[in-house]
Amino acid sequence: MAPIPTPSAEPHDSPDAYVGLTADRAEHLARERGWSTVRALPPGAIITMEYRTGRLNFEVRGGLVARAWKG
């Protein structure tokens, strides 16, 4: 049987720090801080709900991050 993989550690970073930033600035900053995947989503977007370590999600309204969460 194959061993269960150990997920890599997430950056020690608060998603709340991105709220209010422009989507471009927030994505650039998130990548600098070590997030492996960053996705910007419009309000009400239909998304998969699986938790992915190292992923940061942004809900973007009018070009600004309105909400941010891990996974």
Task: Give residue-wise pLDDT tens across range 24-65.
Answer: 999 999 999 999 999 999 999 999 889 999 999 999 999 999
Q: What would the two tokens of residue 11 be?
A: 């950056």
Is 1's pLDDT higher than 80?
Answer: no
The whole-number pLDDT of residue 10 equals 87
Kind of pairing between the strands at 64-70 and 55-61 = antiparallel
What is the Cα–Cα distance from 17 to 54, expressed in whole angstroms? 16
Name the CATH architecture for the domain at 15-70: 2-Layer Sandwich (3.30)
What pTM, to 2 d.p., does this model score?
0.84
So where are the chain's domains?
15-70
Distance from CA of residue 63 to its chain's centroid?
16
Dihedral sign (CA 16, 9, 33, 27) = negative
If you average pLDDT over residues 6-25, what whole number do you get? 91
